[in-house]
Structure 1
Amino acid sequence: MTGRRERVAGQSIRGSRIAAAIGVGILVGCIFAFLFPNGFLGSDPPQEHQSAKSAVQVSSSPCESPERVKMLKSELISLSEKNAELKKQVRDLNMKLQLAEQGKDQAQKQFLVLGNQHKAGTFGTVKALRTNPTVVPDESVNPRLAKILEKVAVEKELIVALANSNVREMLEVWFGSIQKVGIPNYLVVALDDETESFCKSKGVPVYRRDRDEGVDSVGRSGGNHAVSGLKFRILREFLQLGYSILLSDVDIVYLQNPFNHLYRDSDVESMTDGHNNMTAYGYNDVFDEPKMGWARYAHTIRIWVYNSGFFYIRPTIPSIELLDRVADRLSRQPNSWDQAVFNEELFFPSHPGYDGLHASKRTMDYYLFMNSKVLFKTVRKAANLSKLKPVIIHVNYHPDKLPRMKAIVECYVNGNQDALKAFPDGSEW
């Protein structure tokens, strides 16, 4: 029994020693793990650290840095050129898109008349296409003007007048009559700083164009005809923005809202310088040449000219072409009268060596849109006509414009029937 106990005790002592050795080994391993986290003999750093270090070494190489800069500059120049080319392509595509839209609009309207290629109707029922389609508005032409027109225009229409400080008193009578009638959609294109300040002080909608030395020199000091010639250049932007314009000189008195009396079925709708049905709307004039014997009489068609100081123009391709033609001729022939050029381009037909303008036109009622010859020579003397209330009266036939404008206001607005009597029919040289 004694020997057996000794063997058990010896085995117990050896087991305790083994357990102690294992514990010491674990403890030493933990210490080494703490002191040498990357191993007792060291190891390679992580791959990403190597890559970062390598990148730093490469980028900091004094030999390769200038070459790298040159390469980047070359790439930047190349990208800039590509960007410019892409912008040009975008502009070209936008232009083609606009033309396509215009063509589509035209095609749709033409299709209504010709698309089915149907037979002509019975006598007296056939009607041709009269109204040209409007252009696609392009606000990039003049974003600042586009914002102004968006606020001022009504149904994409407005009255526009050009003015400088030389016509300040007439301008005040002009916008005073407009305000009296209650017309909200009108705008003064100021040709100098003084006119702009004057309009703002009176609460009148005004637009001062961006500085253009060639235009501004005429605008600041030009007379009636010189300023009148500018409107064909300036109006183009209004049409490109998609607005119909009632162009007005400032020697006009408004007695009714003209937008209530327009037909809007033509490219140009203009008042006439004619004074009766024949001269205003056209007539057959016979030319007599006795030497021709049997063929002595030659029939001609005559009409008195449209007044270029008051006309309604729609934003169509023929309308813009008209403005371009007139502006171009006036720039090449500075001594030409804008009204004569305006009518020649509007009425002359195509013939050998010349392509006429394909624009539709309408003559306004000369009793509603009245010139001063009709007023002072006829209307004021006829009892039945003196009670007529015109839409506008244009003092275009008389140089003493301001006193006659004030007399018109006194007569038609204030009710003084004798206000017009003191004036002669025509002008006194």
Structure 2
Amino acid sequence: MLIRSRPSASPGLRDGLSTDRNVLVAEAAELQRRLDSWRRRALAAGIDQGPLSDVHFHSKGNSISTGTSAGTDAAGSTCTPNGHPVTAVAPLDPKYLMRPAAEVEAENPEFAQLLATHANDKREIMLGLTNAVMICQNTTLCWWNGGNILESFLEILERSNIKNHLIGVTDDQAAKYLEDRAARRGSGAFAINWFKPNIRIPDVQANTREANRVSSLKFSLLQTSLQLGYHTMITDMDLVYISNPFDELHRDADIESSSDGFDNMAFGHMNSIHDPTMGWGGGGLYMEIFTYFRGKLDACDKFPGGSEAGTR
């Protein structure tokens, strides 16, 4: 699944001296976007928004209006994509907000340098995590009756020529495996890009399977990578790429994801339900689907710092 990064800082407003109608309409849209962003950040930080909580700029075509709107407060403004109201829920914790890339880079200089070195010219990176369990040299830890998942994945990277990859290694045994492998193959072989991330396993994952512990760390690295401005493809090791997936991306959406199968549960199909105990409202149709393919962020709902939210 590839998630595209969005700018963490908005462009500056004009000097405010223009009287051109089109410029003023554009300024109103920018003011509304910044105001929405400020409201969410202020709410997350527990700041009283005062009179600004009732200010709204509405621009459409060449008209501008300001005023209040019921139900469009700091907790989430509303819009009507496809004729259906949607409420934007403000983030509860400031640490999940997008931050300036320079600030994040100062805290993660080594990771930032790795991304800059190994991402492709579109600032796209394939990011995965591994540990000794995936090598399966210790059969008391792996539960799939053997098989070196890590080695298979490395061979796939080479065969598909996926150079813009970066693998986080979470234990010394897996790190030694990669070091020994590189030494055996020599300097002219396909290079495997890996590092040891400086992040701790969350307490809630401490006593789970080793593979689960690895999975819990992906999202911290994903957040940092996105905040540094890189479009990030998250991958598991137990996948088979028959060609370079970056050659198949449409790049017309903020999230592109592969399916997890070839049957109706992957592509989706309609089903129905009927519950006589609910009377006249007991029947209905619904879509059964296992994994969505791509999502496009909707312009009517924006995260702080200019990121957009929604699905398609």
Scaled by the length of structure 1, the TM-score of the pair is 0.40
Q: Which moved more, 1:187-196 or 1:278-287?
A: 278-287
Matched, 1:165 2:132: yes
Superposed displacement of residue 167, structure 1: 0.4
Q: Displacement, 1:359? A: 3.3
AA in 2 matched with 1:158: I
Residue pair 2:131, 2:171 contacting (<8 A) in 1 also? yes
C-alpha deviation, 1:270, in angstroms = 1.4
Aligned pair in 2 of structure 1 residues 303, 170: CA closer, same or farther (>3 Å)? same
Q: Indicate the residue corresponding to 2:276 in structure 1.
A: 290
Q: CA offset at residue 194 of structure 1?
A: 2.2
Q: Do the aligned partners of 1:162 and 1:188 also contact (CA within 8 Å) in 2?
A: yes
Alignment of 1:172-183 (within 5 A): 172-183=151-162
Shift of 1:215: 5.2
**Contact 1:246–1:313 (CA<8 Å) still a contact in 2?**
no
Confirm or deny: 8 A CA contact 2:150 2:237 kept in the other structure: yes
Superposed CA offset, 1:369-398 (max 9, x none): xxxxxxxxxxxxxxxxxxxxxxxxxxxxxx
- CA gap of 1:215–1:191, structure 2 versus 1, over 3 A, is farther
Q: Describe the SS at the equivalent of 1:287.
A: strand
Alpha-carbon shift at residue 181 of structure 1 (Å)? 1.5
CA contact (8 A) 1:192 1:219 kept: no
Question: Which residue, 199, 206, 226 being the options, matches 2:178?
Answer: 199
Equivalent-residue separation in structure 2 for 1:166 and 1:197 (angstroms): 13
Matched, 1:117 2:87: no
CA–CA separation in structure 1 for the residues paired with 2:152 and 2:13: 43
User: Which residue in the other structure is 1:137 paired with?
Assistant: 101
* Bigger shift: residues 201-210 or 288-297: 288-297
Within 5 A, what are the aligned runs for 1:17-96?
A: none
Contact 1:244–1:313, Cα closer than 8 Å, also in 2: no
Q: For the residues of structure 2 that align with 1:117 and 1:157, how far apart are their CA atoms?
A: 36
CA distance in 2, matches of 1:279, 1:173: 27
Larger Rg: 1
| Residues 9-24 of structure 1 mapped to structure 2, 5 A cutoff | none
- 1:127-152: CA deviation from partner (whole Å, max 9, x where unpaired): xxxxxxx9863322411111111111
C-alpha deviation, 1:358, in angstroms: 2.9
SS of aligned partner of 1:271 = coil
More strand by percentage: 2
**Which range is displaced more, 231-240 or 292-301?**
292-301
User: Which has more helix, going by share of residues?
Assistant: 1
Residue type at the aligned position of 1:137:
A
Cα distance in 2 between the residues matched to 1:195 and 1:217: 23
Provide the secondary structure at the position in 1 that maps to 2:240.
strand
Identity %: 25
The answer to whether the 8 Å contact 1:159/1:187 transfers is: yes
Q: 2:258–2:291: 8 Å Cα contact kept in structure 1?
A: no
Look up the match of 2:223. Answer: 236
Q: Which residue of 1 aligns with 2:164?
A: 185
Q: Deviations over 1:168-194 (max 9, x none)?
A: 221111011110121111111011122
**Inter-CA distance 178–219: structure 2 relative to 1 (3 Å threshold):** farther
> What's the C-alpha RMSD, in Å, of the aligned pairs?
4.4
**AA in 1 matched with 2:131:** N
Larger relative CO (CA 8 A, sep 6+): 1 or 2?
Answer: 2
**1:228-270 alpha-carbon deviations (Å, 9 max, x no partner):** 1221122111111111111110001221010111122223211
2:311 aligned residue: 360
1:115 Cα deviation from its structure 2 partner:
6.5
Q: 1:193 to 1:214 in 2, by over 3 A?
A: same
What is the CA-CA distance between 1:296 and the residue it aligns to?
4.2
**Contact 2:128–2:167, Cα closer than 8 Å, also in 1:** yes
Give 1:246's aligned residue. 233
Which residue in the other structure is 1:264 paired with?
251
- Taking the aligned partners of 1:219 and 1:318, their CA distance within structure 2 comes to 31
Check the 8 A contact 2:118/2:166 in 1, yes or no. Answer: yes
Q: Is the 8 A contact 1:192 1:220 kept in 2?
A: no
Specify every segment of 5 or more residues in structure 1 that has no aligned partner in the other structure, as ranges.
1-96, 120-125, 127-133, 323-356, 362-429
